[in-house]
Each structure stands twice: as structure tokens, then as C-alpha cells.
Amino acid sequence: MLTKKQHELLMFIHHYLEDRGVCPSFDEMKEALDLKSKSGIHRLITGLTERGFIRRLPHRARALEVLKLPDAVLPEGLKNRNTKPSTGSPKENVVQAEFGNRSGDNSSADNGIVNLPLYGRIAAGLAIEAVTDPDSFVDVPQSMLDGGKHYCLEVAGDSMINAGIHDGDTVVIRDCNTAENGAIVVALIDNEEVTLKRLHRKGNTVALEAENPEYETRIFGPDRVKVQGKLVGLFRQY
């Protein structure tokens, strides 16, 4: 049984998809349900997922699958048969769409998939500012994670290419403020720049080392660099 807000959101998404062929944004969902926070939309989507009304497609950011609707809105002949059919046209079987702006924690579903925020692009070359407000999420296998909070970033640049990290890859980061020498980390420099590099500490210096001979190792004082996470995995699209 759905709550009133879950029912409202499901029907809003369903009708929006039927009318426009794309999923509403989180801002549109929030406005339609008269909610103050996007995190409320995330909780409603999680609840609909757990109850089998919608599904997030693994390894695809911003993809939803509508599996069924409440019996109360179906024609009489379709009640008690309200599940995803195995035959028919793609439009009859499933409605998929891209959507953005979800916020929440690393909650996992029964299928072992964890929903991680995608915080935007991070430089694996020259340092750029990382986005801190997620505009999309990525479904990641629970087995890839090692406890604690995690998030994802999209790589921009080629300075870590010899470590197998390419431009356009999505890296999975464990949120932490320290890491062992030699680890690949998300480093905040002078509270302004964020970059993905290999960390080396020696005496009173911190070195951020690229994995590409075309880039120089950057040396900083210990107070200029803060670790914001450690690399634990990546995804690549072909």
C-alpha cells in the first residue's frame, strides 16, 4: 500500500512520461508535490522502488523503469495482473527516462545495488572545482564498497591514464580525510581546487603525483592539501 505522497509522485511521473516521453526533473517533482526539499523526493522514489512500482536500472545514471501502477488506477480487467508483462511493445512493457537532482544517503536495495551521488567532474589533469550538489546518481554493486560513505565523480583529463583512469570514466570514492602513501585520492588544494592524484607524504611535504609523464608532480606544504576521499573503483562506458 502506498502513502498519499508516494501515489501522487508515481502518477505524476507516469503521466509526465506518457505525455512527454521524458521523466520530470527533481525540481518539477518537488513543485508538483509541494515539497520543500529534493531529499523528500529521493525518499519517495526509494519507497516506490522498495515496493516494486519502479526500478532503477543498474550502472545507468538517471534511468527509471516503471513496473506497475496501483490497482485503483487500472481498468477492471487488468487488476490482479498488475505486473510488468513479458511480451508486447517496448512502450507497453516499460517506460524509461532520464532524470536528475536526487539527494540522499548510500541506501541499498534488496538486489545488492547501492545508489551513490554523482558530484560532477573532477580533474585528472589540471585541478578544477568539484561539484558538491549532486545532479544525478549512479547505481553501484554493494560488493564494490568497503563500508562507510561513498560518492562518485566523473573524470576530466588524462593525467591518471597510466593507472587505468581515462577521461570520461566514473570513479567511486570512499569519503575519508586520510589515506596511506601511494593511494589515489581526491585532494582539495588551498580550499579551492580539487583533483584526483596519487598521494605521497615525505617529511613536511605532500606530493600529488600524476600517472602520466607529461604532467609534473606537484609539491605542497602539509596545510595546503586535504584528503576528501580515496579511490575504490571505477566504471567505463564504451
Task: Give the residue numbers annotated as catalytic, written as ranges.
Answer: 159, 197
Helix and strand element counts for the chain (H, E): 4, 12
C-alpha to C-alpha distance for 35 and 27, rounded to whole angstroms: 10
- Tell me the β-bridge partners of 116: 138
DSSP letter at 142? G
Residue type, 190: D
Kindly list the distances between the CA atom of residue 123 and the CA atoms of 119, 155, 187, 227, in Å, as whole numbers in the listed order: 12, 6, 10, 15
Q: Which of 112, 121, 116 is nearest to 103 (CA)?
A: 116
